[in-house]
Chains A and B, each alone.
Chain A
Amino acid sequence: MTDVTSPIPPLAFLNGEAVLEKPEDLYIPPDALQVILESFEGPLDLLLYLIKRHKLDILELPILSITQQYVRYVEMMQELQLELAGEYLVMAALLAQIKSRLLLPTHEELEEEEDPRAELVRRLQEYEQFKVAAENLDKIPRVERDIFVARALIEDTEQSDESFPDVELKELLLAMTEVMARAKQFEHHQVSAEALSTRERMSMILQYLGEHTNPVEFSRLFSVQEGRSGVVVTFIAMLELLKEQLISIVQVNLGSAIYLSLKLQESS
């Protein structure tokens, strides 16, 4: 049989870690002191720690030993020139006062006087009560950490003009056929098939769009007098510009007019 040690209930919790072994004295390595000091929420917390560390009950507040330890602790902190909150010193004074009162012989006329420890015990109890309440509060589920609110996301359709829907290709083609149809009516005016350069047309479109601050309607870029081939070149030039992301094409609603504009260069 291996020796089975029963789990030892922790003496105290320091920074969430169980302190299992009872320390021999209050010696704390100086470099650890700063860390420890920061982990206490004031003199009451420190006192509670000292009491629990020695497996003592608050109600049996052993004022003599606790005062000794507390003062030693405070002195150490001062030696290390750690800035000590005034509250710690006030508590040291209070402990010393209680200690001296306990040492004094009781006088008959003071019989009604309560135990000098009573007020401190009451405060320690009260503080412990809320210390535990705070720990419990931290444990209950909360939004962000344990609770995830389920909510439908409503797309805001009435947003700024930055979010026009993309123009579908078929819309573009549909607009194209209209222009083609119109061009057809002028076909007999076509004199000679001039060699039309797509690149040149691209430059023309860019220049035209550059001259207009507002987006230009799709059909206005076509010159029907150029006939069918002219329309085709313009359309191809547009697609080319779109591909090279030099222009943007927007359409507010399905079926409504299509507008072209120069793509705004991102200012660096």
Chain B
Amino acid sequence: MKRRVSDEQLVELVEAAIFVADKPLSKKHMKETVLQDIHVSDQRINQAIETIFEHYQTRGVRLVEVGTGYRFQACQSLSPWLNMLWQEKAPKYSRATLETLALIAYRQPITRGEIEQVRGVTVSSNIMKSLLERQWIKVVGHKEVPGKPALYATTKLFLDYFSLSGLDGLPKLPELQSEKLDQMLNDPSVREPSE
């Protein structure tokens, strides 16, 4: 027989669980662990999360949903000051790394060859290795072409790192001016159209 808890107790439990968990906590994981003996509907869990979310709106710490679940993080406006807590500066990523990561994020699943095609240069093995090691990308399959190259995609940890709940949270890809390109191809000043 599952126990029943009041809304207040549920809020307390969910809040504490998210704080104590060593990584973002998903609703599914909550139900499998801290809430396993408790009779509670998804709707009530959502309500509890909403209550906690509202409660922290005026605090230095906020509840956010990222790729793998919910976590608390410091209010971003405080970051310049919080940064002073650490001696080490946050790592900077090279343009090559960022371009490779951007291509995987927006064009996934994508092969290394396809990345190289767009960037016009070979992608160094170190870049792929470090992205794989950081678990921002993973191999999701192999393309059915000669050589069966690996297809790469971003992971949920990538979303966690950039504090996104989904890929749709990424900035919009700048639009290609394909219309203008077509126009240019049909421009009579470039090519004499034949009658």
Q: How far is the CB of B62 from chain A (nearest CB, A)?
A: 8
- If A59-B184, A138-B98 touch, does A123 touch B120 (CB 8 Å cutoff)? yes
Q: For B76, what are the chain A residues with a Cβ–Cβ distance below 8 Å?
A: 141, 146-147
Q: Are B120 and A129 in contact (CB under 8 A)?
A: no
Interface residues on B, range: 35 or more
Q: How far is the CA of A203 from the CA of B174 in the complex (A)?
A: 81
Interface residues on A, range: 35 or more
B38 on the interface (CB 8 Å rule)?
A: no
Main secondary structure of the interface of A (DSSP, over half): helix
Q: How far is the CB of A91 from chain B (nearest CB, A)?
A: 7
Give a binary string over B152-179; 1 marks a CB under 8 Å from any A CB, 0 the rest.
Answer: 0000000011111000001101111100
Q: How far is the CA of A91 from the CA of B177 in the complex (A)?
A: 23
Q: Are A148 and B73 in contact (CB under 8 A)?
A: yes
Q: How far is the CA of A151 from the CA of B15 in the complex (A)?
A: 11
Which of A45, A115, A125, A139 is close to B120, meaning CB atoms less than 8 Å apart? Answer: A45
- If A134-B102, A137-B171 touch, does A145 touch B90 (CB 8 Å cutoff)? yes
Give a binary string over A115-159; 1 marks a CB under 8 Å from any B CB, 0 the rest.
Answer: 100100111011111111111111111111111111110100000
Q: For B174, what are the chain A residues with a Cβ–Cβ distance below 8 Å?
A: 128-129, 132-133
Q: For A140, what are the chain B residues with a Cβ–Cβ distance below 8 Å?
A: 162-164, 170-171
- If A137-B98, A147-B73 touch, does A42 touch B121 (CB 8 Å cutoff)? yes
Stretch at the interface among A19-27, A106-114, A182-190: A106-114
Q: Are A150 and B73 in contact (CB under 8 A)?
A: yes
Q: For B176, what are the chain A residues with a Cβ–Cβ distance below 8 Å?
A: 125-126, 129
Give a binary string over A75-114; 1 marks a CB under 8 Å from any B CB, 0 the rest.
Answer: 0000000000101000100000000000000101001001
A230 on the interface (CB 8 Å rule)?
A: no
Q: Are A127 and B119 in contact (CB under 8 A)?
A: yes
Q: For B99, what are the chain A residues with a Cβ–Cβ distance below 8 Å?
A: 41, 130-131, 133-134
Q: What residue in chain B is nearest A47 (Cβ atoms)? A: B120
Which of B121, B160, B191 is close to A106, meaning CB atoms less than 8 Å apart? Answer: B191
Q: For B90, what are the chain A residues with a Cβ–Cβ distance below 8 Å?
A: 142, 144-145
Q: Are A130 and B121 in contact (CB under 8 A)?
A: no
Q: Are A41 and B119 in contact (CB under 8 A)?
A: yes
Q: What residue in chain A is nearest B190 (Cβ atoms)? A: A115
B194 on the interface (CB 8 Å rule)?
A: yes
B41 on the interface (CB 8 Å rule)?
A: no
A227 on the interface (CB 8 Å rule)?
A: no
Q: How far is the CA of A166 from the CA of B37 in the complex (A)?
A: 38
- If A114-B185, A154-B20 touch, does A133 touch B96 (CB 8 Å cutoff)? no
Which of B19, B83, B161, B190 is close to A150, meaning CB atoms less than 8 Å apart? Answer: B19
Give a binary string over B59-100; 1 marks a CB under 8 Å from any A CB, 0 the rest.
Answer: 001000000000111101011001100000011010110110
- If A41-B121, A134-B95, A143-B163 touch, does A106 touch B192 (CB 8 Å cutoff)? yes
B118 on the interface (CB 8 Å rule)?
A: yes
Q: How far is the CB of A62 from chain B (nearest CB, A)?
A: 12
The 5 A-B residue pairs whose C-beta atoms are closest, nearest first, are A42-B121, A145-B90, A44-B120, A134-B98, A150-B72
Give 17 pairs: A residue, B residue, CB < 8 Å, sorted on A.
A41-B96, A44-B119, A44-B121, A45-B120, A59-B184, A111-B191, A129-B174, A129-B176, A131-B95, A134-B95, A140-B163, A141-B76, A143-B162, A143-B163, A145-B90, A148-B78, A151-B21
Interface of A toward B, CB cutoff 8 Å: 41-45, 59-60, 85, 87, 91, 106, 108, 111, 114-115, 118, 121-123, 125-152, 154
Excluding A85-B121, A132-B174, A147-B76, 12 further A-B contacts by CB distance (< 8 Å) are A44-B121, A59-B184, A60-B184, A115-B191, A118-B185, A125-B177, A129-B176, A133-B99, A137-B101, A147-B74, A148-B78, A152-B19
